[in-house]
């Protein structure tokens, strides 16, 4: 594993949370970053502090035209893009019955279609270069689920499937893909900017109260502890397709898959009887 500094990053959602932490950490180690956010004022201080190392761009990932313009501008400005990091996203809070179709669609526009727009804008440039690394911030909830944020979980399951297919399709061009799967961290992800709430129904009030109480007791990781792990991924010659970020994910995922396998195996005789030959 050989470290290669002076990489050029394109990062969405750079104003807060992991996006902000990773943007500043990359700049601190001497890399260059095209940092994007819906509100350019939220990242203006990066330009003051890091000068020509950083290019700040306004970007709403739900606007494909703006996405293509930002990716092209970043590539032209720095001459290449080594790492394209899709980080923008938010969670919709509400049970499956409570959330409206419009609310679910809006979240998918940011969490799923936004990253797809970035990927589709970047791929021709990365192919032309003959290299590149696409990173996507998913979640451990791309493998397991929680109630009350089921639609958010579903967006991460879709995100995972898209990136897994993408990895197989673009390997031939020398382009790598890694899905970064954070567990619970003490970021601004729980802030009003990162959460939207569906209108509640009284029949779920007690259930949600209990659910949120459980979340409050959950141990959260320190976001400042994550950059070095991320750098090991982007500096690796053969980075993993999936990377757990944090110490609690693997046990939870292992348990979930063990339960699924046990269920499939218990019903396997009936499943096989339906084959018909």
Active site residues: 138, 152, 156
Helix axes 227-235, 17-28, angle to 10 degrees: 70
Question: In angstroms, rounded to a whole number, what is the distance separating the alpha carbons of residues 173 and 96?
Answer: 40
Beta bridge partners of 58: 37
Question: In angstroms, rounded to a whole number, what is the distance separating the alpha carbons of residues 121 and 136?
Answer: 15
The helices-and-strands tally (H runs, E runs) of the chain is 10, 9
CA angle 84-87-91, nearest 5°?
155
Q: Which two tokens stand for residue 48?
A: 């003051």
Task: Report H helices in the chain.
Answer: 17-28, 44-50, 64-78, 101-108, 114-129, 150-170, 205-216, 227-235, 249-266, 268-273
Q: Which two tokens stand for residue 26?
A: 């990359």
Question: In angstroms, rounded to a whole number, what is the distance separating the alpha carbons of residues 26 and 3?
Answer: 13
| DSSP-assigned letter for residue 227 | H
79 phi and psi angles, rounded to 5 deg: 90, -10
């Amino acid at each position: 594993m050989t470290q290669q500094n002076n990489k050029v990053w394109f990062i969405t959602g750079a104003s807060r949370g992991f996006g902000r932490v990773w943007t500043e950490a990359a700049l601190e180690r001497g890399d260059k970053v095209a940092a994007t956010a819906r509100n350019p004022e939220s990242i203006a201080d990066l330009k003051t502090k890091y000068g020509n190392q950083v290019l700040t761009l306004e970007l709403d990932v739900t606007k494909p035209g703006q996405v293509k313009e930002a990716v092209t501008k970043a590539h032209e400005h720095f001459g290449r893009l080594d790492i394209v990091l899709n980080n923008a996203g938010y969670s919709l809070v509400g049970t499956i019955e409570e959330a409206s179709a419009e609310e679910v669609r809006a979240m998918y526009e940011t969490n799923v279609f936004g990253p797809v727009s970035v990927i589709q804008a970047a791929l021709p440039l990365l192919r032309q270069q003959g290299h590149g690394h696409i990173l996507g911030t998913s979640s451990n909830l791309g493998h397991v689920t929680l109630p009350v944020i089921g639609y958010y979980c579903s967006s991460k399951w879709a995100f995972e499937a898209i990136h897994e297919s993408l990895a197989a399709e673009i390997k031939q061009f020398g382009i790598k893909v890694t899905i970064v799967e954070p567990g619970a961290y003490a970021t601004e992800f729980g802030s009003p900017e990162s959460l939207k709430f569906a209108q509640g129904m009284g029949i779920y009030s007690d259930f949600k109260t209990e659910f949120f109480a459980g979340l409050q007791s959950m141990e959260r990781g320190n976001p400042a502890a994550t950059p070095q792990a991320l750098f090991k991924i982007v500096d690796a010659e053969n980075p993993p397709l999936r990377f757990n970020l944090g110490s609690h994910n693997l046990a939870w995922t292992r348990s979930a898959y063990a339960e699924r396998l046990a269920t499939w195996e218990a019903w396997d005789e009936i499943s096989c009887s339906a084959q018909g030959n």
